[in-house]
Amino acid sequence: MQEEFPSKLALSTTMRVEEMRSGEEVSAMVRLHEVGWGAKRIAQEFGCARNTVRRYLREGGVVAYRQPARRTAFDGLDDWLRERFFRHDGNADVIRQELASEHGIVIGLRSVELRVKRWRRELKAQKRATVRFETGPGHQMQIDFGDTRVWIGGERLRVHLFVGTLGYSRRVH
């Protein structure tokens, strides 16, 4: 045997469900308040809660939805995350491991990927900006000069040197 319950019974009598007010209704509420009507009287006229009317009056009109600010495990770590993101060439898993080892924050890989997503385009642009320059065989060589101190025959001497890298084969001389 099945008993049918009225659908209104599902809602508690203390819980009120407010409908979203149209822009015209909100404008009318503000105009009535400017004429001298109180929040209680306006609420009765429109069939809504006084606090709803007060919120619209306080904002001066329609209130756009605002996402509440939520605390995350990454709060205060944006500079650190950005630096590590570029250091590790965009590898979110390495960043996740370093978060656990350095900051004690154990978090899922997907959460880290979503947080660093905003820097992916910049990383891609940096990679595209540094394109290898290829030359044909025998056309180009890069030479770097330097010096160092080495031990020769029990004596520490300064030695001047150069390194030549061929452009095509990358062979070092």
* pLDDT by residue, tens only, the chain of 173 residues: 455 544 444 444 444 555 677 888 888 999 999 999 999 999 999 899 999 899 989 988 887 777 888 898 999 999 999 999 999 999 999 999 999 999 999 999 999 999 999 999 999 988 888 676 778 888 888 899 999 999 999 999 999 999 999 888 888 88
What number of CA atoms fall less than 13 Å from residue 39's CA on the CB side? 10
Q: Which residues contact 134 (CB under 8 A, 6 or more apart)?
A: 167, 168
Is residue 123 classed exposed, middle or buried when 0-12, 13-18 and 19+ CB atoms within 10 A define those classes?
middle
CATH of domain 20-66: 1.10.10
Per-residue confidence (pLDDT) for residue 18, from 0 to 100: 59
Distance CA 30, CA 21 (A): 13
Instruction: Kindly report the pTM of this predicted structure.
Output: 0.44
Q: What does the block give as tokens for 48?
A: 């809504």
Per-residue confidence (pLDDT) for residue 6, from 0 to 100: 47
Concatenating the DSSP letter of every residue in 18-37 gives PPPPPHHHHHHHHHHHHHT-
Whether residue 17 contacts residue 11, with contact meaning beta carbons closer than 8 Å, is answered with: yes
Q: With CA atoms as reference, report the closest residue to 88 among 49, 107, 58, 116.
A: 116
Distance CA 73, CA 77 (A): 9
Neighbours of 57 (CB within 10 A): 17
